[in-house]
């Protein structure tokens, strides 16, 4: 087992827990759809949690040929994966603790929290991409900062502009950027 397999195995547990939060909340929302008050901003942020999780999981493939992984890179990855977990856990309503099914109220009350977590992950991404490009020779990550900077703007807009158009436009554009990210940077995963 190489360093990549060793680290990705550990990270996979955290990614799995994050995905579980999203899937569990989505199934609860579907099950209780008759009483659910749907919120487009909240729904888009849940979608972005999923897209961000998938995009960042796939981007870890860039380390699969690493013969050695410095502790600083592992630590940065750990911080990053934990940030991903927080986004997914915070955006997923916990219906079991008396939470009602009003997603508009949930977004109004909790949106700032999961948007802030998203902004933290974007900032950590900028730092990690720069460090990976300069220190670990992962040039693909350094090039990704162009898209990540655009993602930062899509998170900052709804975080500070509470108007309905900004609450939808920010996460909608972010979803578009995340959907474009994979075909641009990872159209195929190769062994070599």
In this predicted model, what pLDDT tens digit does every residue of 164-173 receive, in sequence order? 999 999 999 9
The reply to whether 74 falls in a domain is yes
The reply to whether 191 falls in a domain is no
pLDDT reading at 128 higher than 90: no
* Per-residue tokens: 122: 């974007």
Nearest to 73 by CA among 130, 117, 16: 130
The reply to whether 134 falls in a domain is yes
Domain containing 8 equals 3-185
The reply to whether 44 falls in a domain is yes
Mean per-residue pLDDT, 38-48:
98
Mean per-residue pLDDT, 96-123:
92
How far lies 139's CA from each of 22, 77, 144, 181, in Å? 31, 16, 9, 15
Residue 62: the pLDDT is 83
The reply to whether 145 falls in a domain is yes
The reply to whether 190 falls in a domain is no
**Counted domains in the chain:** 1
């Amino acid at each position: 087992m190489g360093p990549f397999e060793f680290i990705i195995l550990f990270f996979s547990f955290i990614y799995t827990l994050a995905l579980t939060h999203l899937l569990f909340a989505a199934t609860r929302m579907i099950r209780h759809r008759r009483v659910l008050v749907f919120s487009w901003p909240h729904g888009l942020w849940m979608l972005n949690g999923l897209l961000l999780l998938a995009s960042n999981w796939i981007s870890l493939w860039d380390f699969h040929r690493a013969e050695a992984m410095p502790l600083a890179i592992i630590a940065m990855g750990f911080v990053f994966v934990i940030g991903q977990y927080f986004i997914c856990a915070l955006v997923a309503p916990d219906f079991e603790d008396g939470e009602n099914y009003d997603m508009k109220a949930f977004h109004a009350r909790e949106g700032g929290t999961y948007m802030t977590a998203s902004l933290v992950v974007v900032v950590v991404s900028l730092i990690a991409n720069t460090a990976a490009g300069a220190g670990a020779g992962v040039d693909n990550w350094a090039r990704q900062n162009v898209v990540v900077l655009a993602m930062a703007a899509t998170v900052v807009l709804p975080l500070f502009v509470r108007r309905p158009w900004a609450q939808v436009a920010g996460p909608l554009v972010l979803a578009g950027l995340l959907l474009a990210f994979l075909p641009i940077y990872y159209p195929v995963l190769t062994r070599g």
